[in-house]
Each structure stands twice: as C-alpha cells, then as structure tokens.
C-alpha cells in the first residue's frame, strides 16, 4: 500500500507566508467540491489565520459511467498544466471514481501524471487525489473494516468497494443511491445521510465513509453521523482536505467536520 502525498520535485515559495494556493481538477458537472472544500478551509483559516485560495480546471463529465470516467482521465495532464499556471502549492485531483475506474492502486499513476505535467510546465506542486486520499486516510486512522455510502449505480459502487479492498481494507457494507447523472448527485440532500448511515451494518465497521464521491454533498452531516454512531466518519472531501493540509505542512484545526479534521483522530499530520 502506498503512503503519503506525492510531493513536488522542488520547493516553491508561496505567494505570501500567510497564504496558500490550492489547485483543483474537477469534473465539469461538479458543483460540490468547490463549495465543500472552500468552506472547510474557511474554518481552518478562522482557527489559524492562514488564508487559502482555490483555482480550478475542469474536465468534461456529465454521466457517471465507466466510459465517461475513463475519457475524463485522459484530460488530467492538460488540466494539471492549466491549473499549475496559477502557481499553486498543491493540486488535488478531485474525481474519486474516475481514478478508481482504472483499477486498484491507480491513484499512484494518476498522481504521478499530474505531478509530472505541473513540473514540466515549470510550476511543480505537491499532488494528491481524492481516490488516493481516501485509502491513505483510512490507513492513517487505523481503520480496517469500513461501511460506505455511495451515490452511484450498483456496478460502480462495487467497483469502488473493490478498489478500497484492493488497498487492504474490508468493506463490510455499502449503500448505492443509484443516481447516474452527476449533476443530480450534486443536488442530493445531505440531510438524508444520517438515516442512511444508521441503516448500514456499522457495528462491524471501524469507520464510516459517508460519501465515497466528491460530488455527493455530505459536509453538513459528517459531525452528526459521527456523534450518533460513535465511529470516525470521513468523506472523499474531508480525506482530500486532510491530505492537502498534510502537503502544506498544516495541522488540521477545522470545526464541526469530524475528528479527522479537528486534528484529534490522527496524532500528527506529518509535514511534507
């Protein structure tokens, strides 16, 4: 199993000592990652005084099918070049299932492609992906058995489960919400997630993946589900946030988004 964020080949100064630039590569129909991540980092800023700005590149994706997901992967390098033009400190490849559709462990190669594209553009940056962040975060918190909520059709949810299990974990239960249109996924009500999570076989789990998708809104439910079930709760968005903070060498200090981002679930987020 791989560990850690793929680091940039060279260190770059930030635009200002109290500010960091975060690059995102997102599906064209994504309406969630650019709302949940800025909100999480707003809370981090409120606690620490450090500022974060976001700079995005988009790759075409409308329907969450394997064919469209693989077509999106082909655009990753071009998106990395475009977003690196903003001289970002870290790039997050924010489409979990596009990476996972390539097979177990694919995040390693995807992150390397993005890293090389940014470096080749003369703008090296640290790189993470939502797929890699999810499995590495599960390892960081010591979870072996997980229960999962995903918005996908059942075949894609099975593929995500196989990817997670290929990284050395056991998916003890999963729920498929069976929404194929990616824009519709972004309109799902996170208020429904506590009841959905309650119905999982969570007694067998070490952690809950409340949203195995960067497009499915979940931020407003993370703390409530964690408080109710008494288990660590992570999502594609919170795991990505955790690794972005790691890449920047910043200790998590985010409120009301679960213990992972409060900084109390992992003893120390290593400086990269």
Is 11 flagged in the annotation as binding? no
Catalytic residue among 73, 82, 213, 234: 213
C-alpha 73/C-alpha 202 separation (Å) is 33
The burial of 57, by beta-carbon neighbours within 10 Å (0-12 exposed, 13-18 middle, 19 or more buried), is given as buried
Is 214 flagged in the annotation as binding? yes
CA atoms within 13 A on the CB side of 46: 10
C-alpha 36/C-alpha 216 separation (Å) is 10
Q: Which two tokens stand for residue 38?
A: 């800025």
The burial of 60, by beta-carbon neighbours within 10 Å (0-12 exposed, 13-18 middle, 19 or more buried), is given as exposed
Query: Is 213 considered catalytic here?
Result: yes
Is 95 flagged in the annotation as binding? yes
Q: What are phi and psi of 163, to 5 degrees?
A: -65, -45
* Contact indicator for 178, 202 with CB cutoff of 8 Å: no
Taking Cα atoms as reference points, which of 86, 134, 91 lies closest to residue 113?
A: 91
Is 97 flagged in the annotation as binding? yes
Q: Which two tokens stand for residue 215?
A: 């497009």
Which residues fall within 8 angstroms of residue 140, CB to CB, at 6 or more apart?
242, 266
Query: Is 187 considered catalytic here?
Result: no
Is 145 flagged in the annotation as binding? no
C-alpha 114/C-alpha 78 separation (Å) is 9
Is 246 flagged in the annotation as binding? no
Catalytic residue among 76, 95, 134, 231: 95
Binding residues: 30, 95-97, 152, 182, 214-215
Binding residues for substrate, by number, are 30, 95-97, 152, 182, 214-215
- Active-site residue list: 95, 213
């Amino acid at each position: 199993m791989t560990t850690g964020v793929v680091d940039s080949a060279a260190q770059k100064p930030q635009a200002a000592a109290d500010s960091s630039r975060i690059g995102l590569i997102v599906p064209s129909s994504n309406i969630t990652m650019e709302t949940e991540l800025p909100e999480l980092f707003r809370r981090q800023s409120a606690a620490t005084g450090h500022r974060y700005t976001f700079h995005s590149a988009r790759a075409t994706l409308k329907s969450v099918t394997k064919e469209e997901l693989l077509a999106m992967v082909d655009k990753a390098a071009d998106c990395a070049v475009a977003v690196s033009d903003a001289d970002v400190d870290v790039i997050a490849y924010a489409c979990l299932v596009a990476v996972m559709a390539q097979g177990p462990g694919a995040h390693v190669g995807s992150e390397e492609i993005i890293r090389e594209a940014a470096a080749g553009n003369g703008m090296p940056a640290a790189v993470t992906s939502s797929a890699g962040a999810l499995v590495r975060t599960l390892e960081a918190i010591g979870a072996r058995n997980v229960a999962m909520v995903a918005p996908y059709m059942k075949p894609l949810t099975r593929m995500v489960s196989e990817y997670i299990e290929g990284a050395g974990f056991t998916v003890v239960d999963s729920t498929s919400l069976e929404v194929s249109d990616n824009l519709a996924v972004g309109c799902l009500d996170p208020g429904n997630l506590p009841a959905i999570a309650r119905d999982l076989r969570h007694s067998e789990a070490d952690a809950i993946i409340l949203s195995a998708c960067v497009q499915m809104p979940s931020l407003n439910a993370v703390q409530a589900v964690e408080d109710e079930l008494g288990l660590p709760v992570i999502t594609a968005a919170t795991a990505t946030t955790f690794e972005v903070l790691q890449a920047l060498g910043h200790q998590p200090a985010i409120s009301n988004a679960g213990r992972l981002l409060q900084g109390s679930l992992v003893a120390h987020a290593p400086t990269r």
